[in-house]
Amino acid sequence: MVVFPNCKINLGLHITGKRPDGYHELETVFYPVQLRDALEIVHASTEEPEGIRFTASGLPIPGNSTSNLCVKAYRLLKKDYPELPSIQMHLHKMIPMGAGLGGGSSDGAFALKLLSNKFQLPLHPDQLIQYAAQLGSDCPFFILNQPCYGTGRGELLTPVELDLSGYKFVLVHPGIHVSTKWAFEQLTPAKSPRPITDILQQPITQWKGELVNDFEAPILNAYPDIAAIKQALYQDGALYASMSGSGSAVFGIYPAEQSIGIQEMINHPCHIIGNK
C-alpha cells in the first residue's frame, strides 16, 4: 500500500508567547501543497527483530533511521496495538528537509494513517491527531490535511474556508540550513496585530505587507540569498511571496495562467505546482 505525503506552507506566522514547557505559542494558517514524498508499507517477508525494516531513497535523509518519524509512528502504534505485524517501510524523499515545508511531519502523520488503514485499527481521526501530536507539533495538521488555523504549538487546529486551487505555487529551496533554535532566539513574542484569518479573507493582491511571517525579518537579514529569492519571486510576477515556517524555503503564489520565469533568475532548485 502506497501513499503520497504532501508538504505545507504557512500563510502568516506569529509567535505570540513562550510556554512553561519551553515551546512557543503561535498563530498561523497551514495550507497543503502538492509537492509529495512516497511512502510504502508491506508485510515483512520475514519477522523483523524490531518489527520494522525501514529503507529510503531520493533526497538523503540525515541521522539514524530510528529517529525517523515514520519509524516512530510504527512504534507508537505498536505499543498500543501489539498485534501489528512486522512490516517493511520504504520512503522516497522529494520534499526538501529543514525547509519549513513540514515534509518529515507529513511522512510521520501519513505513516500513522497508512498503518491504521492497512491493518484496520479502530482509530478515529481525533485519536490519530493525538498520536500525531506525540510525534511533533506540525504532525496533527497532516492528519486533517486541509487549510487550518493553527494555535498552541500548532497542534490546535480549526479548519478554514480557503481555496487557492486557481493559483500556481512556486517553491524555492536555497539549500540553506537555518537553526530553528537560533531563529526563535531572534524573536520577542507579541500578540498578533491583526488575526491572520481576517487578512486571508481579503483578495490575495492585498496580502503583501499585511500577511507576515515573524521569522522573516531576522532570517532575511542574516541570509541575503533568501531575501533575494523572495524579491525575485515578486519581480517574476508572484501575487504573494513569503518564507514558510522558520525557513529556508520561500514560496510564491501566481495567477494560474501566468508563465513562470523564476528559474532563469536564481541558481536554486524550484518546484512549480498547479495546486489542483
| CATH (domain of 88) | 3.30.230.10
* 226-230: average pLDDT: 95
Angstrom CA distances, 203 to 14, 140, 171, 214, stand at 21, 28, 21, 21
pLDDT at 48 over 90: no
User: pTM to 2 decimals?
Assistant: 0.94
pLDDT at 275 over 80: no
Rounded Cα distance between 13 and 29, Å, is 7
Is residue 55 located within the same domain as residue 179? no
Residue with cell 500563510: 11
Q: Is 79 a catalytic residue?
A: no
Is residue 116 located within the same domain as residue 200? no
Q: Which candidate in 107, 138, 214, 236 is catalytic?
A: 138
pLDDT of residue 153: 87
Is residue 176 located within the same domain as residue 151? no
pLDDT, averaged across the chain = 93
Is residue 50 located within the same domain as residue 6? yes
pLDDT at 119 over 70: yes
Rounded Cα distance between 5 and 89, Å, is 14
Domain boundary among 159, 189, 223: 159
Digit-coded pLDDT (tens) for 64-94: 888 999 999 999 999 999 999 999 999 999 9
Q: Which candidate in 8, 72, 168, 230 is catalytic?
A: 8
Is residue 19 located within the same domain as residue 103? yes
Q: Is 18 a catalytic residue?
A: no
Domain that holds residue 245: 167-274
